[in-house]
Amino acid sequence: MALADLCPNYAQTRLLKKGPSSSDLPAYAHRFVVLRHNRRPRVSCSLAPNQVQAPSVPVTNGTARKTDCYGVFCVTYDLKAEEETKSWKRLIKIAVSGAAGMISNHLLFKLASGEVFGPDQPITLKLLGSERSFQALEGVAMELEDSLYPLLREVSIGIDPYDVFRDVEWALLIGAKPRGPGMERAGLLDINGQIFAEQGKALNAVASRNVKVIVVGNPCNTNTLICLKNAPDIPAKNFHALTRLDENRAKCQLALKAGVFYDKVSNVTIWGNHSTTQVPDFVNAKIDGKPVKEVITDTKWLEEEFTERVQKRGGALIQKWGRSSAASTAVSIVDAIKSLVNPTPKGDWFSSGVYTNGNTYGIAEDIVFSMPCRSEGNGDYELVPDVIIDDFLRERIKKTEAELLAEKRCVAHLTGEGNAFCDLPEDTMLPGEQ
Is 424 in a helix, a strand, or coil? coil
- The CB-side HSE value for 100 (13 A sphere, CA atoms) comes to 17
Q: Which amino acid is at 352?
A: S
- CA angle (153 as vertex; 151, 155 as ends), nearest 5: 120
| Helix boundaries (H) for 147-296 | 161-164, 185-206, 220-229, 244-258, 292-295
> Is the peptide bond preceding residue 161 cis, with omega within 30 degrees of 0?
no
Residues forming beta bridges with residue 343, ordered by sequence position: 376
- Print burial letters for 366-392: b (CB count within 10 Å at least 16), e (below 16): ebbbbbbbbbeeeeebebbeebeeeee
Q: How far apart are CA 225 and CA 411, in angstroms?
A: 10
Phi-psi group of 10: left, alpha or beta (phi > 0 → left; psi -120 to 50 → alpha; rest → beta): beta
SS (HEC) of 325-385: CCHHHHHHHHHHHHHHHCECCCCCCEEEEEECCCCCCCCCCCCEEEEEEECECCCCCEECC
Q: What are phi and psi of 227, to 5 degrees?
A: -60, -50
Is there a catalytic annotation at residue 274?
yes
Q: How far apart are CA 267 and CA 265, in angstroms?
A: 7
Q: What are phi and psi of 108, to 5 degrees?
A: -60, -35
Between the CA atoms of 133, 134, 140 and 145, what dihedral angle is there, to the nearest 10 degrees?
A: 180
Task: Exactly one of 30, 240, 274, 413 is catalytic; name it.
Answer: 274
| Cβ atoms within 10 Å, residue 193 | 25
Residues forming beta bridges with residue 4, ordered by sequence position: none
Active-site residue numbers?
A: 274
